[in-house]
Structure 1
C-alpha cells in the first residue's frame, strides 16, 4: 500500500468506527437541535469526521522506526524551511520541458496543489457547519496549519528525537489559501440533499418505521458501548492492583465477569431498569424523542414496561446473550421486529402490541391513537 493511500484507508476505517461509537449522542443532539435527523446532515457529519482523521493521518503517517541512525536519516529535516515562496524556485528547478503535461507532472507543483487542496474541506466544513465567517474560517485554517507544522518541527512534540517531517513556511501559505477557498465555497454544501427541516425543533414529528428502528439500533449500540466502557474500567482496575487481564496469568473467573459486564449488565440496566423510570422510554427512544403511552393516555404501568422490554430490545439482548438455540431465536426476532414496526398501528411494533402500549413523539402530549384490540 502506498504512503498516500494508507492514511486514507486508516481515516475511513477509524472514521467508520467513530461514527458508530458516536451515533447515539449524534442522533440525540440532532433531534434536539433540528427536530429530526436528516440523511444530508449525517453525510456531512461523517464526511467532516473522516476528513479530520485523514488530515491527521496525512501529516503524521507513516510513523518511522526509531533506531540509532534516526536523526542521521532525517538530518535534512532538522532545519526548517523559512524562506517564503521558496516553492516558486523549487517548481522552476524541477520543471523539465515547457508543455502542460510536463507542468502537471512537476512534483514541486503537485506538492503545492496538494497542500492547498488538503485544507479546502476544512474551510468548507468550518464555514458551513460551524457558521464561521470567511475571515474567521481562514484564521482557523492558518492556526490549524501552524499547529501541524509545529507538530512536525517538534517530532510530534518530542515523542521522536528529531523531526521526520519538514517544517515549511510555504505550507502555511498553501494551507491557509486552501482554507480561504474552502470558506468561499462552504455555502455550496447546502446543495447536499436531505438537509431540509420540516419544522421548528420543538414541533412534533410523525412516528415512522425508520424512526422506530433507529431508536432500536441506538438501544443496542448503547448496550455494546456501555459494556466496552465497563470492561475497559475493569482492565484499568486489574492493572492497578497487579492482576493480568490477558495472557497465561489471567484468572479464570475473569471470563464470566467479562461476559456479564460486556452484555448482561448494560442490557439489564439500559433496557429493563432505566425504562422503569421517567416515563418508560429507553435510551434509544429518548435519543429519537419518542415516548411510550398507554391506552389510558398515561405513562404505561411498570408491568407493561417490563413486558415491552422482554418482547423488544431487552428480549433480543437476553436471547443473544444465552446463545445456542436462544441466539437463533434472537436472529429470527430481528426481521419480525422490523416487519412489526412497519405494519402495526401507530408503528408501535411487536413489543407495543404485546404490552398494549403505543408510542408518540415526546414533544407531543397527544395519544398514540391505538385501540384496545390486538
Structure 2
C-alpha cells in the first residue's frame, strides 16, 4: 500500500507539472486570471485520479504460466454478500471481532476511496450534486468492468474481484464527499465570481510577466519540435524513406535540416504575432499582456525588434546547431533575470516599450488608474 500511495503522489504531481502551462492558458482564457488555489485543487485531483488507478489496477501480478488457471477471479454479483458475510462472521466469532476483520475494513476503505471524488468534483468543477453522484457511480462501474475484463483484455485474465457491492460503497463515499463540500471552508473562488471579474484589467506584475515568458518558451519549444520533425521527415522521404540507414555525411546533413526547420518555425512563432494586432507575443497574449501604447502610435518595426531580442534570439541560435543551441538556456536565464529588475524585461527595456493589460487596450470599462503601467 505504501508503494501505491507514493506512486499516486508522484504520478499525480508529474501530470500536474506537465499540464501546468496548458492549465495556466486555460485559466486565463476562461477566467482572465491565474488562480493558484484552483491549480492546487486541480493537482489534488490528478493525485487522486492516480490513486484510484493505483488501488484498483495495481500491483500487477506475475502472470507466469498457470497463474490464470490457479488465480483467475469470478465476479461477485450478489448485492447482499457483504451483510450476509458480516452476519455469518459475527455469529461465528462474535461481534467484537468485526473491528479487526478485513471484510469490514475493505467495506470502509471502498467508501473512503470515493470521499475525495465527491469533494473535489463538487468543489472544483462545481457540478450539480446529482451529476456528481451519477459520475461517481459511472466511475465505480468503469472500475469494476476494468477488473472484470482483466484491464480490458490487456491482462491474460481477471486478477481482481469485480464486486457489485463496491458500486454501493463507492457511491456512498461520494455522497459523504458531497456533504463535506457543503460544510468545509471553500478556500477558493467559485466560477461565478471569477467569470464576473474576467474582463477586468489587472496590474502587470513580475509574476504575470514570468508566466508569459514561460508560455513563450513552451510555444517556441513546441514550434521547434514540430519544425524539426517536419524537415527531418522530408529529408528522410527524399532519401529512400524513414527506414533507410544514412551515412555519417547524410546524418550531418539531416542534423542541419532538423536545426534549420526548428529555427524557422520558432522564428515564425516569435515574429508573426509581432506583425498583427497589438504586437504581443503568444505567451503575453495568453496572459492578457500587450505592448503599450496602442500599435497605431507604437511603430511596428519596434515591435518586431522586441520579438527578435529574446524569442527571435533563441530561434537564431538554433540555426547554428551545436554548440550554439546550448546557449539558448543561458539566453533564457538572462531574460528571466531581467524581469527581476523590472517587469518590462529585457526586450521591452531595450526597445523602449511599456507593457500593460491587453483588456485595457481593448477598451475595458475600468479606468487607467485601476491598472499599473510598467514603466520602470
TM interval, short-chain normalised? 0.7 to 0.9
In the alignment, structure 1 residue 308 sits paired with structure 2 residue 306: yes
Query: What is the distance in 2 between the residues matched to 1:149 and 1:231?
Result: 44
Question: Residues 203 and 372 of structure 2 are in contact (CA less than 8 Å); yes or no, is this contact kept in structure 1?
Answer: no
Q: Report the Cα offset of residue 258 of structure 1.
A: 4.7
Residue 273 of structure 1 corresponds to 272
CA separation of 1:113 and 1:8: change in aligned 2, threshold 3 A: same
Q: Report the Cα offset of residue 20 of structure 1.
A: 3.5
Question: Residues 152 and 167 of structure 1 are in contact (CA less than 8 Å); yes or no, is this contact kept in structure 2?
Answer: yes
Residue 350 of structure 1 corresponds to 346
Query: What is the distance in 2 between the residues matched to 1:117 and 1:50?
Result: 15
Q: Report the Cα offset of residue 302 of structure 1.
A: 3.6
Question: Residues 74 and 164 of structure 1 are in contact (CA less than 8 Å); yes or no, is this contact kept in structure 2?
Answer: yes
Structure 2 unmatched runs, 5+: 362-367
Query: What is the distance in 2 between the residues matched to 1:148 and 1:233?
Result: 40
Residue 116 of structure 1 corresponds to 111
Query: What is the distance in 2 between the residues matched to 1:171 and 1:157?
Result: 19
Query: What is the distance in 1 between the residues matched to 2:155 and 2:10?
Result: 26
Question: Residues 220 and 311 of structure 2 are in contact (CA less than 8 Å); yes or no, is this contact kept in structure 1?
Answer: no
CA separation of 1:49 and 1:314: change in aligned 2, threshold 3 A: farther
CA separation of 1:188 and 1:357: change in aligned 2, threshold 3 A: farther
Question: Residues 23 and 218 of structure 1 are in contact (CA less than 8 Å); yes or no, is this contact kept in structure 2?
Answer: no
Query: What is the distance in 1 between the residues matched to 2:326 and 2:254?
Result: 23
Query: What is the distance in 1 between the residues matched to 2:27 and 2:346?
Result: 27
Structure 1 unmatched runs, 5+: none
Question: Residues 271 and 282 of structure 1 are in contact (CA less than 8 Å); yes or no, is this contact kept in structure 2?
Answer: yes
In the superposition, the TM-score normalised over structure 1's length comes to: 0.79
In the alignment, structure 1 residue 331 sits paired with structure 2 residue 326: no
- Name the SS of the counterpart of 1:132 in structure 2: coil
In the alignment, structure 1 residue 364 sits paired with structure 2 residue 360: yes
Between 1:136-145 and 1:323-332, the stretch displaced more is: 323-332
CA separation of 1:243 and 1:343: change in aligned 2, threshold 3 A: closer
1:347-367 per-position Cα deviation (integer Å, ceiling 9, x unaligned) = 221110111211111111269
Query: What is the distance in 2 between the residues matched to 1:99 and 1:234?
Result: 73
Query: What is the distance in 2 between the residues matched to 1:254 and 1:229?
Result: 15
Residue 49 of structure 2 corresponds to 52
Q: Report the Cα offset of residue 59 of structure 1.
A: 1.6
In the superposition, the TM-score normalised over structure 2's length comes to: 0.79
Question: Residues 227 and 263 of structure 2 are in contact (CA less than 8 Å); yes or no, is this contact kept in structure 1?
Answer: no
Residue 204 of structure 2 corresponds to 207
1:314-357 per-position Cα deviation (integer Å, ceiling 9, x unaligned) = 434545885657745852652x434432443xx22111011121
Query: What is the distance in 2 between the residues matched to 1:54 and 1:226?
Result: 34
Question: Residues 28 and 286 of structure 1 are in contact (CA less than 8 Å); yes or no, is this contact kept in structure 2?
Answer: no
In the alignment, structure 1 residue 15 sits paired with structure 2 residue 8: no
Residue 365 of structure 2 corresponds to none
Query: What is the distance in 2 between the residues matched to 1:117 and 1:81?
Result: 21
Q: Report the Cα offset of residue 169 of structure 1.
A: 1.2
Query: What is the distance in 2 between the residues matched to 1:285 and 1:203?
Result: 16
RMSD: 3.9
Match of 2:34 among 34, 37, 61: 37
Question: Residues 116 and 175 of structure 1 are in contact (CA less than 8 Å); yes or no, is this contact kept in structure 2?
Answer: yes
Query: What is the distance in 2 between the residues matched to 1:178 and 1:107?
Result: 18
CA separation of 1:149 and 1:245: change in aligned 2, threshold 3 A: farther
Residue 364 of structure 2 corresponds to none
Residue 290 of structure 1 corresponds to 289
Query: What is the distance in 1 between the residues matched to 2:13 and 2:244?
Result: 28
Residue 215 of structure 2 corresponds to 218
